[in-house]
């Protein structure tokens, strides 16, 4: 029995014979699907630019409605906005005590321009009606959100039934929540995240201002960096690469198999 073998090279090029109709159709279908996908993506990008951009900033904001709790923690980095939210919560009876993370102090040789941020925050709270005995400085030299999360964990460990609200900028709440959950584990259920109103740019048009672009893009970069640095980002990336390699190898294997099918006699 005569067996006629037609081998097919990749990319649909026939080698020593002709292109198999099945493979040619598959290639055409793939090109069509890819073309349609590109057109749909471009249409979405043009027509849905605004909702897309808005949802990008909405995704970062996981702040919830403030409810009565024992503590409200003011995260560092926004002394002109965040303490005002905490003060409002105390005034409205939504929180008993304000926790302010202790911030890094200048080292020898560093010029002191302004007082430490925790002192400024405390002063804002006092001036906005929070009694001095309701403001507590916690932690030691907190330089980043993770250190602040550890400081809050220490407080909540001492008071197992206490609940807390964490106040930060709206676009910072998702990363903050992720970090607090990572540090506090199951105790993170006792937390709520409250968004301070964003200043300097509007969430509905952030991509038109430098402040907005800087804040949102920088926050996304930080999210990625945190996932890689603290989370399992490296494993996810390795897994994705492995999967991509497996798919690629599978495609190659299939294509070779298709290229060596016996032709009908």
Partner 1 sequence: MNEDLDNVTNAPPTREPKGPVSPRRARWVLWLAAAGLVLAVAVVSHRAILRAAANLLIVEIEQGFSDAVWLADGDHRFQTAADLYQEDPRRVILIGRSFPDRLVELGILPPREEVARSRLEERGVPAGAIEFFGEKCRDIWETGRAFKGWMAAHPRSRILILCDRFRSRQTLLALEQVLDADEIARIGIRPLRGYRYDETNWWKVRSGVKGFVSAWLGLWCVWAFGEPPQRPEIWTVDEYEAEIARRIQGASR
In whole angstroms, give the CA distance from residue 168 to residue 171: 8
Which DSSP letter does residue 185 get? Answer: G
Among residues 53, 85, 135, 165, which is the contact residue for partner 1, using CB under 8 A? 85
Max intra-chain CA distance, the chain: 98
Q: In the bound complex, what is the minimum distance in angstroms from residue 145's beta carbon to partner 1?
A: 11
Q: Binding marks (x or -) toward partner 1, 11..50, rule CB under 8 A?
A: -----x----------------------------------
> Which residue, 126 or 162, has its beta carbon nearer to partner 1?
126
Please say which residue, 50 or 127, places its beta carbon nearer to partner 1: 127
What is the rounded distance in angstroms from the CA atom of residue 141 to the CA atom of residue 233?
28
- For the CB of residue 7, give the shortest distance to partner 1 in the complex, in Å: 6
Which one of residues 73, 84, 166, 184 is an interface residue with partner 1 (CB under 8 A)? 84
Residues 48-67 binding partner 1 (CB under 8 A) are: 65-66
The DSSP code for 5 is B
CA 37, CA 49: separation in Å to the nearest integer? 17
Of the pair 111, 133, the CB lying nearest partner 1 is at 111
By the rule CB under 8 A, 200 interacts with partner 1: yes
Choose one: 37-45, 69-77, 179-187, 199-207; the region binding partner 1 (CB under 8 A): 199-207
> Least distance in Å: CB of 156 to partner 1?
23
Residues 171 and 211: their CA atoms lie apart, in Å, by 12
**How far is 2 from 5, CA to CA, in rounded Å?**
10
142 is an interface residue for partner 1 by CB under 8 A:
no
Residue 197, CA distances (Å) to 53, 95, 203 in order: 18, 18, 10
DSSP string, 75-122: -TT-TTTHHHHHHHHHHTTSEEEEEEEEEPPPPTT----S--HHHHHH
Give residues in contact with partner 1 (CB under 8 A).
2-5, 7, 16, 65-66, 79-81, 84-85, 88-89, 92, 94, 107, 109-111, 113-115, 120, 123-124, 127-128, 143-144, 196-197, 199-202, 209-211, 213-214, 217-218, 221, 225, 260
């Amino acid at each position: 029995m005569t067996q006629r073998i037609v081998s097919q090279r990749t990319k649909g090029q026939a080698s020593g014979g002709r292109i198999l109709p099945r493979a040619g159709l598959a290639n055409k279908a793939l090109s069509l699907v890819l073309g349609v996908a590109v057109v749909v993506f471009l249409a979405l990008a043009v027509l849905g630019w605004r909702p897309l951009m808005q949802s990008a900033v909405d995704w970062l904001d996981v702040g919830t409605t403030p409810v009565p709790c024992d503590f409200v923690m003011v995260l560092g980095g926004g002394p002109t906005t965040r303490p005002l939210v905490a003060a409002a919560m105390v005034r409205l009876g939504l929180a008993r005590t304000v926790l302010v993370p202790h911030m890094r102090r200048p080292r020898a040789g560093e010029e002191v321009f302004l007082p430490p941020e925790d002192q400024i925050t405390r002063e804002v709270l006092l001036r906005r009606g929070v009694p001095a005995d309701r403001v507590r400085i916690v932690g030691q030299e907190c330089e980043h959100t993770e250190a602040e999360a550890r400081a809050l964990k220490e407080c909540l460990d001492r008071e197992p039934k206490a609940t807390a609200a964490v106040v930060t900028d709206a676009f910072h709440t998702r990363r903050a929540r992720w970090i607090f959950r990572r540090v506090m584990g199951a105790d993170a259920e006792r937390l709520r995240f409250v968004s301070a109103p964003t200043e300097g740019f509007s969430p509905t048009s952030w991509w038109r201002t430098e402040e907005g672009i800087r804040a949102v893009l920088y926050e996304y970069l930080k999210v990625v960096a945190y996932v890689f640095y603290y989370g399992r980002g490296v494993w996810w990336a390795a897994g994705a690469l492995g999967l991509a390699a497996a798919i690629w190898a599978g495609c190659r294997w299939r294509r070779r198999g298709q290229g060596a099918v016996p032709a009908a006699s």
